[in-house]
A and B are shown apart, each in its own frame.
Chain A
């Protein structure tokens, strides 16, 4: 059983650029959630994907968008990067049909916007 993997581990971008972060879900999981963790804060829910459809969204602007692929891997895209987008981005996978709601987290991608 493979765990959640995220790529890249670190990324540096400049303001106004666009970025794509990737996540491979744990084997057998069909749901992927993305979180933003600013320095000194807890993770904040961005959105969730289930069977390739967005299934819930947090308080993030439309320039944050995502995709889920048939193999349940996922991408997080951020357009028009702002300095405040600098954070650790976490991906978590889970199995929607499991009532226990246990999410398994990746190691994260640290994004720095200059």
Chain B
């Protein structure tokens, strides 16, 4: 079975501080991992995916197969990063996404 766990429902940090949103997954095959973000009054949108190894809006995420983790990191948080963040997993070749319960990130000025 595929499962995604985001242990923190709420995370609050000050502007300029580093941010790390945790994501752990359970899947025996080769997963595709994603981070989706939902800003206030906007729709859910893709932030980044592990396969592209890119940095979007200063965020990066590294897939650690040994620890089955895909934590999202940003060295210096900005107020506009406040949003709901969802980690999601897809089995390789499938298009079904399995989401974690989400982490609400609040950046304090």
- CB pair B44–A31 under 8 Å, yes or no, is no
Q: Is A8 an interface residue (CB 8 A)?
A: no
Residues of the A chain whose Cβ atoms lie less than 8 Å from the Cβ of B86: 42-43
Residues of the B chain whose Cβ atoms lie less than 8 Å from the Cβ of A94: 95
Which single residue of chain B is at the shortest CB-CB distance from A105? B44
Residues of the B chain whose Cβ atoms lie less than 8 Å from the Cβ of A101: 32, 49, 90, 94-95
- CB pair A42–B95 under 8 Å, yes or no, is no
Query: How many chain B residues have a CB neighbour from A under 8 Å?
Result: 24
> Closest CB-CB distance, A31 to chain B, in whole Å?
6
- CB pair A102–B96 under 8 Å, yes or no, is no
**Chain A residues proximal to chain B, CB less than 8 Å:** 31, 33, 35, 40-45, 48, 55-56, 58, 90, 92, 94, 96, 100-108
Q: Can you list 30 A-B pairs, Cβ within 8 angstroms, ordered by A? A: A31-B95, A33-B95, A33-B97, A35-B99, A41-B101, A42-B4, A42-B88, A42-B99, A42-B101, A43-B86, A43-B97, A44-B99, A45-B97, A48-B95, A56-B95, A92-B97, A100-B49, A100-B51, A100-B52, A101-B32, A101-B49, A101-B95, A102-B46, A103-B97, A104-B45, A104-B46, A105-B36, A105-B45, A106-B43, A107-B43
